[in-house]
Chains A and B, each alone.
Chain A
Amino acid sequence: MKKIEDIFNTLPKAVMTAEERTRIREAVSTFIAEHPVVSPLVAARISPFTKLLSLDFVQAHAFQALALILLVACGGITVAAQNALPGDPLYAVKLNVNEELPGLFAFSTQAKADYEAGLAERRLNEVTSLSAEGKLTPEARTQIEANLQAHVDNVEKSVNKLQSENDARGAVEVSSDLASTLHAHEQVLLDLSSRSDEAGEVASTLRQQLGSISDHLTDLEEQVAGEETGDSEARARTKSEQAEDELSAAKSARADATTSVSEDVLDDADAQIDHALSELADGYTSLQNGSFNKAFVDFQSVIRYSKEAEVIIKAGVKYDLPADNDGDNASTTPEEGSTTPSEATSTDSLGATTTNATGTPTTTDESASTSTGEAGTSATTSTSTLLLEGSFSATSASPMPTQPGMLNKLLKAAQDVGL
């Protein structure tokens, strides 16, 4: 009788063609270039004190250690840069330092997509802020639009990747979130177009982007609805809970805003909430019929419409929409004063706050009145947390100076301490 070894010895080796080997090598090489070594940061995260203070560690990683110290020391600048807008000196720091770092920690396809979608939302918040203040220049618009397009393209790439990884539901989630962000901001910018011609231009760009995204999303939704997998029911039920949460958040924002925004804004928001309610009913019908993936798609639509309603209402409160062509309007504090700036921008998934035209957060007043040394300390702490924990939200939790004057103070403080 033949031995197993002998049988397997007759099997040929499977080999790659030279072309395949080169293709994969290049793909790996590109991947390496896009994923630089960040070891000192991560090593520090595992054991911040022992590793950072060990002489061996510093000697072995002198360059990275220096970079880390510089980054931590520059915390004041990076925190100040959080709120920079195109035209501000710190805007480049915001794009190239503040926003690049968290991307290093987004590993999975969905995490990368969420990260890019968050950046797209930041660009839209910038455009909205500048439009509301009547400060959106054609140059700033071009710059923001180009960046926005790049983020949208990256999200789309991730969506395609998720699809090719057979994660159509993940693709639907990402694509649907992006669609809701773009659509909501399109509405807000249309309302702002009376204050700024440029806002109308951006709105029409968004409309175009939405066209192709919506087509793709529809295909994806059909794909998901058509396939049932083992975990479909559980996923659909979890989604229904998220949908209920988002819808009730939208409803409560709508209720709170009843007296503080115009009828037009309320009508826009109500239309989205109506859509959401109707999708919710569809979702439960699908659940009852056992069409769990169809239910998943329906509930995802509830989330999309609810988020849109929320963005529209919050922008309405924040920017006092629609505009009455009074240039000063944007810089006055809303009478209600009930919505704090952090609440008004809480839909930004990256935890960003944009420059706020309506008021200053109370938390900032305190740090503004303290010595520059203290302000520097608070900034440094939060940035080192960002680096060591790999957590982006760490910075958003810190007091955010929002007035340009405050940015200058912080910048000056940084210069004073020799940075």
Chain B
Amino acid sequence: MKQHDTERERFLQAYDELSDSLFNHCFYRVSDREVALDITQETFTKTWEYMAGGKDIGNLRPFLFRVAGNLIIDYYRKKKSDSLDALQEEGFDVPSEDVERIISSTEGKNALKALEGLDEKYRQVIVMRYIDELSPREIGEIIGETENAVSVRLNRSIKKLKELLNLA
């Protein structure tokens, strides 16, 4: 029991330290506050479930980002299968209320709009690099790619993003 309590305290301490940056990451991946909150919570519970099962997770921070990344992919899969039509009708032109409220500058809104127009795998590395400010090596550790592969993907993502922002 004592061990459980210690583990619990350590984990909650990790929550206090990492929940903000994880939420920020989720928000810029899904553009929806409520969904980002749900994914943040589920990331921590899933991670605990994994740890409680006795599995070694190594460094907690990249592990949390990896779990969140999987949940985000699940979220998009579900969203896609649930309402492909609705998504096509709405397109990416209508920024959600959350985005309107949080981002005031036109440039910022455009940046997010462009981000939403990117494929998920490109959006992932752009958010990690420029929102989470992770190095390509750290990104590689999270998504299970080499540093080199991450750099290549980042370059492609930037190119696409520039096209979307008419900066190319």
Residue-wise, chain A 218-250 has the 8 Å CB interface mask toward B (1 for contact) of 000000000101110000000000000000000
Q: A28 to B15, Cβ gap below 8 A?
A: yes
Contacts of B112 in A (CB 8 A): 11
Does residue B65 face the partner (Cβ distance < 8 Å to A)?
A: no
Using A28-B45, A32-B48, A63-B3 as known contacts, say yes or no to A10 and B27 having CB atoms under 8 A apart.
Answer: no
Q: Please name the residue on chain B nearest to A42 by beta carbon.
A: B54
Q: Which of B37, B49, B82 contacts A166 (CB 8 A)?
A: B82
Return A305 CB to nearest CB of chain B, in Å.
Answer: 30
Q: B54 to A39, Cβ gap below 8 A?
A: yes
| Residues in B71-130 with C-beta less than 8 Å from chain A | 78, 81-82, 102-103, 105, 107-108, 111-112, 126, 130
Does residue A37 face the partner (Cβ distance < 8 Å to B)?
A: yes
Does residue A41 face the partner (Cβ distance < 8 Å to B)?
A: yes
Q: Which of A25, A37, A41, A64 contacts B7 (CB 8 A)?
A: A37
Contacts of A14 in B (CB 8 A): 23-24, 27-28, 33, 36, 102
Using A27-B41, A28-B44, A31-B45 as known contacts, say yes or no to A11 and B54 having CB atoms under 8 A apart.
Answer: no
Does residue A8 face the partner (Cβ distance < 8 Å to B)?
A: yes
Give the docked Cα–Cα distance between A39 and B55 (Å): 7
Does residue B12 face the partner (Cβ distance < 8 Å to A)?
A: yes
Contacts of A21 in B (CB 8 A): 19-20
Return B37 CB to nearest CB of chain A, in Å.
Answer: 6
Does residue B63 face the partner (Cβ distance < 8 Å to A)?
A: no
Residue-wise, chain A 63-90 has the 8 Å CB interface mask toward B (1 for contact) of 1100000000000000000000000000
Using A14-B36, A27-B45, A42-B55 as known contacts, say yes or no to A5 and B12 having CB atoms under 8 A apart.
Answer: no
Give the docked Cα–Cα distance between A231 and B80 (Å): 12
Q: A13 to B3, Cβ gap below 8 A?
A: no
Give the docked Cα–Cα distance between A40 and B54 (Å): 7
Return B55 CB to nearest CB of chain A, in Å.
Answer: 7
Give the docked Cα–Cα distance between A32 and B167 (Å): 48
- One of B135-143, B144-152, B157-165 at the interface: B157-165
Q: How many residues in B have their beta carbons less than 8 Å from beta carbons of A? A: 46
Residue-wise, chain A 256-300 has the 8 Å CB interface mask toward B (1 for contact) of 000000000000000000000000000000000000000000000
Q: Which of B40, B49, B81 contacts A107 (CB 8 A)?
A: B49
Give the docked Cα–Cα distance between A35 and B7 (Å): 12
Return B62 CB to nearest CB of chain A, in Å.
Answer: 19
Contacts of A16 in B (CB 8 A): 19-20, 23, 37, 40
| Residues in A1-27 with C-beta less than 8 Å from chain B | 1-2, 4-5, 7-16, 20-21, 24-25, 27
Return A30 CB to nearest CB of chain B, in Å.
Answer: 9
Q: Which of A1, A4, A24, A39 contacts B161 (CB 8 A)?
A: A4
Q: A24 to B102, Cβ gap below 8 A?
A: no
Q: How many residues in A have their beta carbons less than 8 Å from beta carbons of B? A: 41
Q: Which of A12, A39, A64, A229 contacts B102 (CB 8 A)?
A: A12
Return B38 CB to nearest CB of chain A, in Å.
Answer: 9
Give the docked Cα–Cα distance between A11 and B161 (Å): 15
Does residue B61 face the partner (Cβ distance < 8 Å to A)?
A: no
Contacts of B161 in A (CB 8 A): 4
Q: Please name the residue on chain A nearest to B41 by beta carbon.
A: A24
Does residue B52 face the partner (Cβ distance < 8 Å to A)?
A: yes
Q: A42 to B27, Cβ gap below 8 A?
A: no
Q: B54 to A4, Cβ gap below 8 A?
A: no
Contacts of A32 in B (CB 8 A): 8, 11-12, 48, 52
Contacts of A417 in B (CB 8 A): none
Contacts of B105 in A (CB 8 A): 10
Give the docked Cα–Cα distance between A31 and B4 (Å): 13
Does residue A55 face the partner (Cβ distance < 8 Å to B)?
A: no
Q: B24 to A13, Cβ gap below 8 A?
A: yes
Instruction: Kindly list 20 other residue pairs between chains A and B, CB separation below 8 angstroms, not including A4-B158, A38-B52.
Output: A7-B111, A7-B165, A8-B111, A8-B131, A10-B107, A14-B28, A14-B102, A21-B19, A21-B20, A24-B15, A24-B19, A24-B40, A27-B45, A31-B48, A31-B49, A32-B8, A32-B48, A37-B51, A63-B3, A229-B82
Q: Can you list 14 A-B contacts (CB < 8 A)?
A: A4-B126, A7-B111, A10-B105, A10-B108, A11-B108, A11-B111, A14-B24, A20-B37, A24-B15, A31-B45, A32-B11, A32-B12, A64-B3, A166-B82
Taking beta carbons and an 8 Å cutoff, which residues of B are in contact with A? 3-4, 7-8, 11-12, 15-16, 19-20, 23-24, 27-28, 33, 36-37, 40-41, 44-45, 48-49, 51-55, 78, 81-82, 102-103, 105, 107-108, 111-112, 126, 130-131, 158, 161-162, 165, 167
6 nearest CB pairs, A to B:
A39-B54, A14-B27, A8-B130, A42-B54, A31-B45, A28-B44
